[in-house]
Amino acid sequence: MPSNTLPNAPAKYIFLDRDGVINRDSADYIKTWEEFEFLPGSLTALQKLTTAGFRIIVITNQSIVGRRWVKPEILQDIFKRMCTAIEAHGGRVHDVFFCPHTPDDGCNCRKPATGLIEKAARTHRIDVSTTIMVGDSAKDIVCAHKAGCKAAVLVKTGNFETAQTLLKRENLVPDVVAADLLAAATWVLDTEA
């Protein structure tokens, strides 16, 4: 147990988008493990958050399933390998929630809808008002605000320029803009200390 966590302290949760936050995003989507590339500093960030007692939950849109470009079992294998690599570097992903639908499906789980966060909150009994969401797109920030997260952090390692334009149009601003996941983790740890 991390030394800065009291034995009966409530768990601290952080929601992370995947593509553009943990790993390099691709206009062609991540369809195989060979296409998955951790962003610089992300493994260190995940290790620091884990050591500080955060439970990391990945919240990600994965329309490649709905588009039938990747079978669900391939996506699950990518998630499993990602989690194994993170654990090998001292981090831990507590859970992964993903939306398999396309934008045209009208589901309630595809960000910016809040279904994935709501499902995570039900599954793990999370008080969403105590959580932080880190993402690289406007969808992540809108989702965090709509779900009632305490803070929404926008990283510059993915769709930052597009996100800024869309957020300005929605009259929304992230609580923090960070260079990457490591910078975001540093802000979280400084803020939550």
**Residues recognised as catalytic:** 17, 19
Query: If you ran DSSP here, which 8-state letter would residue 23 be given?
Result: B
The DSSP element (H or E) to which 169 belongs, if any, is helix 160-169
Angle, helices 72-88 vs 42-51, to 10°: value is 70
Classify residue 6 as exposed, middle or buried by CB count within 10 Å of its CB (0-12, 13-18, 19+).
Answer: exposed
Phi, psi of 95 (to 5 degrees): -165, 160
Beta 132-135 vs 93-99: how paired, if at all?
unpaired
- The set of residues, in sequence order, having a beta carbon less than 8 Å from that of 183 and lying 6+ positions away, is 41, 155
Contact 113, 143 (CB under 8 A): yes
| Alpha-carbon gap, residue 15 to 51, rounded angstroms | 16
